[in-house]
Structure 1
C-alpha cells in the first residue's frame, strides 16, 4: 500500500506517514457521507447554525496546536497560522449568523394574476472538495461552512503535504458535535479522485489550485454533468498611479507580496508603476524587500519563512532564473541561501516583459515583478494584459477615481484600493478568465451548490 509522508520544509525532517486509501475505501466514505446528508438535510437552517458556532469555538480552543501543525507542514509563519485559525472561526460564525436569512424561502408571484410562487434553496447532496496546501485550514473551511449550512455533506481531498491538518480539522468538527460521517477526509491519488468525481452520489465539485489542474478537474466533472466552482491561480496586478502615496504603496506592496510567504492566489504579484513615480517607488520597495528577515517560521522575528516544499522551491527558482535569462533585472534577492530548508529570499525583478514567467505566469513565492507604465491608462492596460483575473489593487490618493477604475475597468473578481487583504467573510471571493468561476464568502458561496427550486401555487 502506498503512503503519504509529510515533511517539514524548514528542517527537511519527516513529520508523519499515512496510508493511502483504496478506491473501495474512498467510495465507502463517500457513501457514508451521503447517508449522513440524508439526515442532515432534514434539519432547518436555524437548527444547523449551532453546529457551526460550536466548530468555531473548537477551532479557537485549539488555535495554538493548529497553527503549529500548519507551520510544521507548510512552513507558514506561526503568526500567519494563528490568523488563519481566527478567519476560519469567523467564517463559521458568519455562516451560522447569516445563513438562515440568506437561504430562506423567497415569496414570488407568477402569471398574469400574480399567483403565489415560492423560491426555495434546497441541498443537493455530497460536495467533493479538492483543496491545496497554502492555507491548510482555510481552504477546506470555506467550502465546508457554506455547504453544511446549505444542508450538504462534504468529502475533502486535501493536498498531500498538509494531510495532518485536514485530518485534524475533521476530528475537531466531530468533537464539536458534527455527525461523524457528514464531513469526510480521503487520502487518494489523482486517478481515484477522477473516479469519485464521476460517482453518482457526488453532486458538485469545488477545487482550488492551478489553472492547469482546474482544466482537468473541470473537464472530468463536465463530462459527468457535475457543477463546479473553480478558484484558480492569478498574477494579481497592483497599480501605482501618478498620484499614489508612495509610503502607503510600499507598505502594502511588501505586505501583499510576502503574506503567507508569497504563497497566496491573491498575493500582489505584478507591480505596475507609472513613469512619474517609478523611480521613487522602486527604490523604496526594493530597499524594504532587501531588508526582510527570513528565518525559522516559529520565530516571532521572522518576516519570511520557507516555501512549502522542495518542489515549490525548485518551481519558483526556475521561474526566476528563466525570467532573468530573458532579460529581467534582479534588484534584490534572486539567489537562495546556502542553508537547510526550502528558503527563497524576498526578490524584486525589474524590466519584466511579456514572454517571461514573471509577466505571464503565477510565481507562487516571494517574488515581485515590477513593470513600468507610461501613465495611468497604460497601467490599467498592462494590468488587464493577463490570462488571469482573480484580484488586483490600485494605489491612488483619489479614492473616487480609483473606485471608478476598479469598478469599470479592472477585469478581475476583486480589487483592493490603498490596502491589501486576502479574504473577508462578508465579501465575495473569486475570479474571472483563467482564474476560474464561482464565488465563495459573502453569502454567495452558500448558494453555489443548492437546488434553486421554483414552486408554483394556484
Structure 2
C-alpha cells in the first residue's frame, strides 16, 4: 500500500487489520444475515430467501486500496456471488495481492479475479452478459458513467462517490476532544478520504478559540517519508492530484478566503502539500461547493446551531457528517437533520462492518457493510407454498 500510493506505514498496517476484521465479521454473521425470513400470508408457508445475483464487477479507487475492495468482496462472496475487480491503475500490486489472498483462503479458482484493464474498457465489462451487477467507489463523474451503463443494461449498481462531510462545532463542544477528532478526521490518509471531515462549520461563539487550537494542532503534523513511523503527514498519491488541489485553494483565496496556515505545496521531491486551514470560506467560493481531496480543512462560520445545519445541508454531497457538543441529546437531534448517509455525535465518521455505509445526493446510493450491505447483491426472492 505504502509503496504504491504513499499511505503512512502504520496506517497501511491498520488497513490490513481492518480487512481481516471484515472477513471475520461476514464469516461469523453471513449465514444469519442470509437466512430465510418466514412471513405469514395466505400461504401454508411463505418466506423471503436471499440468493446470489452472479458475477459482480467492482471498480475501486487507490486511496484505501485493500479496504475498499474487501468491504465489497467479503459480503458479496459470502452471499454466493463471484467478483471481478478493476482497480485503480496506480495500485496494480494491491489488485494482484487481493486475488492471491482469496486463492490462499481456499476459494475456488476464478471466484475472484483482478482485471488488469484500462478505465476505457469498464463499459464493455458492464455490458458483458456474464456480469450481473456493478459497484463503484470513486468520483462523481465516474459514478455517473457507470450508473448510466448499468442502467442501460438493467443491471443492479451500488455507488459510493465523493463527499464533503460537515464537522459541526457547537458552542458547548469539548474542544480538547473536538480538536483531536478534527485533526484525525481531516488529515488521516493525507485528507484523501471520501468520509474525511472537509467542512468545519463552527458557530461564532466558539470559532476563534477553535481556530487557534486547530491551527496549533495542524502545524504540529510532520511531513516526511511515509515508511518512517514518526512521520504524521504523508505525501499525496500523485503530483497531478496535488496540483489540482492547489488550484482549488488558490481560487478560493483569490475569492476572499483567508489562509490560516499552509495552503501551498511543499517544495522538493514527492507530492507533498502543507497541512492547511482555509478560514472564512463562503458561498460562491470553490472550496465551499467542491470536495477538496487532500490535506486542507475549510472553516465556515455559522451564526448559531440553526445556521450551522443550513450550511451543512447546503451541499450537493451527502455521505457523512459529525456534530460536536457536550449535550448528547442536542447532538442527536441535530444529527438526525443532517442530510447524509451517516452522522456521528462526538466521534469522527468511519466505516464499521456492523453498520451500513453509503451516501445520498451526489454521494451515491446503496449500502455496503452490515446486513444491509450483504443483501445488496442478492435476489430477495419470495417463495410461496400453498
Same fold, TM-score > 0.5, yes or no: yes
For residues 326 and 420 of structure 1, the distance between their equivalents in structure 2, rounded to whole angstroms, comes to: 30
Q: 1:108 aligned to 2:39?
A: yes
Secondary structure at the residue paired with 2:208?
helix
Where does 1:140-155 land on structure 2 (aligned, <5 Å)?
140-155=69-84
Residue 357 of structure 1: how far off its partner (Å): 2.3
For residues 98 and 288 of structure 1, the distance between their equivalents in structure 2, rounded to whole angstroms, comes to: 40
Contact between 2:320 and 2:349, CA under 8 Å: does it hold in 1?
A: no
Which of residues 75, 99, 103 in structure 2 aligns to 1:174?
Answer: 103
Contact between 1:394 and 1:415, CA under 8 Å: does it hold in 2?
A: yes
For residues 186 and 135 of structure 1, the distance between their equivalents in structure 2, rounded to whole angstroms, comes to: 18
Contact between 2:322 and 2:349, CA under 8 Å: does it hold in 1?
A: no
For residues 240 and 341 of structure 1, the distance between their equivalents in structure 2, rounded to whole angstroms, comes to: 34
Give the corresponding residue for 2:259.
Answer: 330
Give the corresponding residue for 1:156.
Answer: 85
Where does 1:5-404 land on structure 2 (aligned, <5 Å)?
70-111=1-42, 115-404=44-333
Residue 421 of structure 1: how far off its partner (Å): 4.2
Contact between 1:78 and 1:298, CA under 8 Å: does it hold in 2?
A: yes
Secondary structure at the residue paired with 2:317?
coil
Contact between 2:166 and 2:197, CA under 8 Å: does it hold in 1?
A: yes
Give the corresponding residue for 2:362.
Answer: 434
For residues 349 and 308 of structure 2, the distance between their equivalents in structure 1, rounded to whole angstroms, comes to: 21
RMSD over equivalenced CA pairs, Å: 1.0
For residues 188 and 85 of structure 2, the distance between their equivalents in structure 1, rounded to whole angstroms, comes to: 25
Distance 1:421 1:379, change over 3 A: closer
Residue 454 of structure 1: how far off its partner (Å): 0.5
Q: Deviations over 1:386-430 (max 9, x none)?
A: 0000000100000111112112x1110111211214211101110
For residues 109 and 231 of structure 2, the distance between their equivalents in structure 1, rounded to whole angstroms, comes to: 39
For residues 300 and 230 of structure 1, the distance between their equivalents in structure 2, rounded to whole angstroms, comes to: 34
The runs of at least 4 aligned residues of structure 1 exceeding 2 Å deviation read none
Greater fraction helix: 1
Contact between 1:357 and 1:363, CA under 8 Å: does it hold in 2?
A: no
Residue 316 of structure 1: how far off its partner (Å): 1.1
Structure 1 unaligned segments of length 5 or more: list them. 1-69
Give the corresponding residue for 2:344.
Answer: 416
For residues 274 and 293 of structure 1, the distance between their equivalents in structure 2, rounded to whole angstroms, comes to: 29
Q: Deviations over 1:165-221 (max 9, x none)?
A: 010111122122111200010011233210110111111110001111111110111
Structure 2 unaligned segments of length 5 or more: list them. none
Q: Deviations over 1:120-164 (max 9, x none)?
A: 000110000000000010011111101111100000000000111
For residues 184 and 69 of structure 2, the distance between their equivalents in structure 1, rounded to whole angstroms, comes to: 24
For residues 433 and 202 of structure 1, the distance between their equivalents in structure 2, rounded to whole angstroms, comes to: 27
TM-score (norm 2): 0.98
For residues 413 and 191 of structure 1, the distance between their equivalents in structure 2, rounded to whole angstroms, comes to: 30
More displaced 10-residue stretch of structure 1: 265-274 or 191-200: 191-200
Secondary structure at the residue paired with 1:425?
coil
Q: Deviations over 1:225-283 (max 9, x none)?
A: 01110000011000000111111111100111011111110001000000100100011
Contact between 1:296 and 1:305, CA under 8 Å: does it hold in 2?
A: yes
For residues 310 and 89 of structure 1, the distance between their equivalents in structure 2, rounded to whole angstroms, comes to: 31
For residues 75 and 255 of structure 2, the distance between their equivalents in structure 1, rounded to whole angstroms, comes to: 45
